[in-house]
Amino acid sequence: MLETRHIDKYFLEPVKFHVLKDINIELQKGEFVSIMGKSGCGKSTLLYILSTMDTAYEGELWIDGDKMSDLTQNELARIRNEKIGFVFQFHYLLPEFTVLKNVMLPALKLGREDVEGIRARAMEKLEILGVSDQANKKAYRISGGQKQRVSIARALINDPKIIMGDEPTGNLDSKNSENVFNILKTLCDSMGMSLLVVTHDIDFAERTDRIIEMGDGTIL
Amino acid sequence: MIRFPLVFDISRTHLLSKIKQTTVASLGVTFGIGTYIILMGFMTGLNGLLDGLILNRTPHIQVFNKTTPSEIQPVERFNKATTDLHYVHSVKPKARLERIHNALPLLSELRRHQQVKGATPQTTAKVFYLAGANKLNGVLNGIQVREEIRLFNFKDYITEGDVLSLVRRKNSILLGAGIAKNLSLSVGDRIQVMSTNGTTFSLLVSGIFQSGLAEVDDVQSYISLPMAQQILGAGRNHITRLHVKLFEMADAVPLARTIETLYDLRALDIKTANAQFDTGSDIRNLISYAVSITLLLVAGFGIYNILNMFIYEKMNDIAILKATGFTGTDVKWIFITQAMVIGLLGGTMGLIMGYGVSIFIDNLPFITEALPTIKTYPINYDPLVYISGVAFALTSTFLAGYLPARKAQQIDPVEIIRGQ
Ligand SMILES: Nc1ncnc2c1ncn2[C@@H]1O[C@H](COP(=O)(O)OP(=O)(O)O)[C@@H](O)[C@H]1O
Ligand SMILES: [Mg+2]
């Protein structure tokens, strides 16, 4: 489903810095994998590359059988839209839009369905995450835990192949964190999605299929 | 592929969430366009009025006798073959009659010419207006009043009385406003004039003539052509000027040239006669364009600034949109749309404001001695001004939006997300 071959990345500013060194990882369909490592070891940087947002790297990234470095920016945007759902550490929603609209936007962009169909499916996803009662509130009016669940609903809206999360539970208390884990786990099992989640939470990581340990820009 | 309904939907939410800034930016455009329309309407209205005054009232060609010295002096004809240089000092024009030689045949010749709409004869008589012991210098113009009205809007100059009285009563006079004031005469009174050979005539003041130029109104009056000829003691063929109106003003210069070569006369065309007037119009136009464009540019910079601010505030939104699959082009159009909506809103309000204020100015009283028939300020409602105003609003907002939108297109979402 997802594979990297010899990925290297350098930061040139302020001084040249080899942040990722020869990264080779593989993620199977339906696999739930967590990435752990010390702060500053390059986990987020790796995730931005895997999510196709960052294209300034050496080596190859393959997603769902396609080589990403061959694609144009617009084609990459399409991949992100269709095949990847991303959950950020901070609740990244568009504040002036309603919760429902936030979830609908990626599907509206994809345009696979008409607006009514998209609205119904967005409600369905909000239902799964238990925040459907917030659907018509503006996104800046709901709590942090609710925002995190809404952003997971948004990541799910186009039924992506892979969900990536950068410390999606980092800002949540243990109860909410538990909740999010269960939701992700269920999705993985029932829908065959692959999950790749960066976390500091060892309890969380130990319940995933596999843990990738990172240290100083390399896979340990 | 760009989905414009979606792009528009996102733009709308952004604009509505920043209603205050949106309004301010629109108002900038409103004032720019509104002022442009008011200024252009007013300026072109004024120019049109002045053009109309000049074009409608001034003859395209004035024909009269030359008073310049002959170009070729007799000595040059006589000694043409020799190589000697001739110096003739203090050359003067030769004495000649004031009347145009063979004026009547020339007049009918001109009237038959296919470019000519009409021609009028005039006879000028120098007189004194007698007022008690005072003699005031004066000039009486003998005219064919119907033709003067038809061709040169002569009626516009008559502020009181009846212009056609010249036709009905031979001894009527349309008295210059300045003379009427100085001699405290009004319509119905009589005035004595004395011709240069000493004969006095009693004329009935049947109207007041006002051109707006004091030096004209203090001296000139109008009487019928036969009356002028009678005052001069001359015959029906005594005519001192011919005024020609053409169908096309552009023909004035070549036709005047032709008249001068065919006849030994001076033919003054309207271009030469009103050279400084043209310059005046041009400069007024230039100023209104310069001011309008400055206003629109200022409005454009306003939009540019506000949109830059919008984009700065919406960095997170841009990063999220890009992370979830929107392309740079989508993002660019989201912000261009916002600029265009501001431009369209502001432009429409500017049209309404411009039109409203134009109507207001149009109804303001504008009384001036120089233009006796004008009662309110002149305004031009040329649709072209309105169309060009909106077109300019849209192009300038597009450009003002395009540059910041390009920046938004190129924003790297990773940088924003990492920055949190
Ligand atoms: N834009 C950047 N320019 C230079 N160095 C950076 C930049 N972003 C991150 N880094 C550095 O790269 C390293 C890896 O960062 P990051 O991937 O965010 O670590 P993690 O997510 O594992 O905590 C850190 O040492 C960080 O200081
Ligand atoms: Mg990190």
Q: If you average pLDDT over residues B368-386, what whole number do you get?
A: 78
Residues 6+ apart with CB under 8 A from A85: A154, A155, A156, A157, A158, A160, A162, A163, A164
Best B14, B315, B324 member to test A by mutation, with max A CBs in 10 Å, is: B324
CA distance B259 to B247: 17
- What is the tens place of the pLDDT at every residue in B306-336? 888 888 888 889 999 999 999 999 999 999 9
**Biggest alpha carbon–alpha carbon distance for chain B:** 107
CA distance B129 to B288: 46
Per DSSP, helices labelled H in B203-248 are: 214-217, 225-232
pLDDT in the model for residue B305: 86
Whole-number Å distance, alpha carbon A218 to ligand 1 midpoint, is: 13
pLDDT in the model for residue B376: 81
Q: If you average pLDDT over residues B4-11, what whole number do you get?
A: 90
Residues 6+ apart with CB under 8 A from A213: A36, A37, A219, A220
How much is the mean pLDDT over chain A? Answer: 89
Residue (of A3, A36, A7) closest to A194 by Cα position: A3
Give the chain A residue nearest B415 (alpha carbons).
Answer: A54
pLDDT at B260 over 80: yes
Beta bridge partners of B161: B207
- Please answer yes or no on whether A96 and B414 come within 8 Å at the CB atom: no
Whole-number Å distance, alpha carbon B324 to ligand 2 midpoint, is: 19
Residues of A in contact with B6 (CB under 8 A): 105, 108-109
pLDDT in the model for residue B306: 83
Query: In this complex, which of A53, A73, A78 lies closest to B323 when CB atoms are compared?
Result: A53
**In the numeric block, which tokens belong to residue B376?**
């309110």
Q: If you average pLDDT over residues B260-287, what whole number do you get?
A: 81
Q: If you average pLDDT over residues B333-349, what whole number do you get?
A: 91
pLDDT at B181 over 70: yes
pTM: 0.75
Q: Where are the domains of chain B?
A: 4-55+277-419, 61-76+88-271
CA distance B51 to A35: 83
- Out of A23-27, B113-117, B288-292, which region has the weakest mean confidence (pLDDT)? B288-292
- Please answer yes or no on whether B324 and A80 come within 8 Å at the CB atom: yes
Strand intervals (E) in B17-133: 61-64, 116-131
Q: If you average pLDDT over residues B77-91, what whole number do you get?
A: 73
- What is the tens place of the pLDDT at every residue in B285-303? 788 788 878 887 887 888 7
- Please answer yes or no on whether A92 and B17 come within 8 Å at the CB atom: no
Please tell me the total number of residues recorded for chain B in this structure: 420
Whole-number Å distance, alpha carbon A216 to ligand 1 midpoint, is: 11
pLDDT confidence band for A133 (50 / 70 / 90): very high
CA distance A96 to A141: 9
Instruction: Please state, as a whole number, how many other Cβ atoms lie within 10 Å of the Cβ of residue B186.
Output: 13
- What is the tens place of the pLDDT at every residue in B351-370? 999 999 999 988 888 877 66
Domain architecture of chain A: domains with CATH: 2-219 (3.40.50.300)
Q: Which residue is closest in CA terms to ligand 1's atom 24?
A: A40
Residue matched to tokens 């003379």: B179
- What is the tens place of the pLDDT at every residue in B45-54? 888 777 776 7
Kindly state the percentage of chain A with pLDDT values over 70.
100
Is residue A43 within 8 Å of residue A89, measured between CB atoms? no
